[in-house]
Amino acid sequence: MKGCAGEGFALRKAVRGCFSNDLGIHGIGDPFVLKTQDGSYYLYCTSAPDGFYCWRSEDLVHWTDRKMCYTRSSGSWGVDSFWAPEVVYFGGSYYMYYTARNAAGSLRIGLAISDRPDGPFLDKRNEPFFDFGYAAIDANVLIDEDGSKYLYYSRDCSENTGEDGIRRSEIYGIRLREDMLATDGEAVRLLTPEQAWELESGNPLWNEGPEMIKHGGRYYLTYSGNCFAGSAYSVGYAVAPEPLGPFVKAEENPVLTSQDRKDVSGTGHHSFTWSPDGTELWAAYHSHTFPDRPDGNRKVNIDRAGFTEKGKLYINGPLTAFQPMPSGAGTVNVTGKFSAETAGRDAGFLVDGCISVYGNDEGMEQEIPAAEGSVTVILTASEPVELNRIAVFPGQAGFGAISSLKIVLDNELSSKEYVICDEDTVPLILDFPIHLAKRIEVLFSLREGEMSIGLSEIMLIREEG
């Protein structure tokens, strides 16, 4: 059994096993991440005037092997505006659904196929995947548990003007044929801009970038609202009992937004994937490369996501400070093995994966009263768990009320006090000697005059190897 070396072990800021949300891929848009059968990842983006680049990764963070995976061929139906590629694996092949503009100047969705995730992808036929007589962009495919297949897309505002004179991008859905080579039936309008946060761009209005994810037997249609080139570009979601609706938008929308922050802007057009060990849901999205000058130059970001016990979707971002690597990428997130309590009361919100970034919905953040100037959180597992890292996510007030913290492992081994300083950012990630622990106490000391602290999450990590 591994243990800490003596009393008073040090807590040190973690450097290894962490990453910054700016992954170094700029000048792109609309990132889509595919996790392949062998566990590797491929990233596809709006990235070239005549096609698409892709990147490869083993851990969701470090991307290499940039190559052109689809190139417009001479005489192709698609002329320019190559946008939003998404790739689906089916029947031993990789199906890329993408957006391009035809010779008449209208946007359409195309289909290209490859036997490799990095291409080359070749058009199945030299014509759009479907043509309903209007501009369509941003394709997303769902292969349901029963094998049925559905395509979601945005009817683009460039050719969709209402009787009120407002141009709107609206999200539609349609069944796909079993072989995924054609649509099957009539398209159904699923979402239109109507919530207050979606109306900030004025005319036109946007619901675009659909991404479907299924959880608990329900269908979550996630999407982006407002203009992609503005700071208000954000992500919301709607829920339905069936893949083609009816969908009801969530009251807590948007679930990913930059709001009035100056360090990030225009968070949207996302996709979902799973961590290397399959235990964490992640959202990949783009934000403006230059937040003070939002435009079409965007970069790739990723943040953890998930669902609350009540079935509400959350995305823990945008987090611009360092955060723990995806679970299975050199470290393992063991938080789920622990329950939490404080002052004799259940504190499950501290170990549920849901981090308070902008709001206090679902009890993701709580104010915990102090006793004699301190707060103690007790984390307990049913059996000993090996770990050596803790990440503390305070509430929206940050670390302002906290002067220091220390940890006690199994009532015996106690750390030296870690003093919070002005340079500490959210989250605070601390390392300690690896230990097999069943009970962990985290002791927070408050600054003079403070009566409580806001806490959102305590993440427990084990370094692999």
* Measured distance CA(107)–CA(125) in Å, rounded: 17
Give whole-number Cα distances, 255 to 53, 110, 251, 424, 462, in Å: 29, 30, 10, 25, 29
Strand, coil or helix: what is 309? Answer: coil
123 and 111 in contact (C-beta within 8 Å)? yes
* Measured distance CA(121)–CA(112) in Å, rounded: 5
* Tokens of residue 223, six digits: 């999407």
Which of 143, 224, 132 is CA-nearest to residue 187? 132
49 and 68 in contact (C-beta within 8 Å)? no
* Measured distance CA(315)–CA(290) in Å, rounded: 22
* Measured distance CA(126)–CA(277) in Å, rounded: 40
Which of 195, 78, 88 is CA-nearest to residue 126? 78
Which of 321, 344, 297 is CA-nearest to residue 429? 321
What counts of helices (H) and strands (E) characterise the chain?
0, 33
161 DSSP assignment: B
Please, is 314 exposed, middle or buried when counting C-beta atoms within 10 Å of its C-beta (0-12, 13-18, 19+)?
buried
Residues forming beta bridges with residue 140, ordered by sequence position:
152
402 and 447 in contact (C-beta within 8 Å)? yes
* Tokens of residue 328, six digits: 């299975």
* Measured distance CA(225)–CA(257) in Å, rounded: 10
* Tokens of residue 350, six digits: 């501290």
288 and 340 in contact (C-beta within 8 Å)? no
User: Rounded to 5 degrees, what angle do the CA atoms 50, 132, 235 make?
Assistant: 65
Which residue in the block uniquely carries the two structure tokens 């009251």?
A: 251
Catalytic residue set: 30, 208
192 DSSP assignment: -
N- to C-terminal Cα distance for the chain?
Answer: 15
Please enumerate in sequence order all residues whose Cβ is within 8 A of that of 163, keeping only pairs 6 or more positions apart, or say none: none
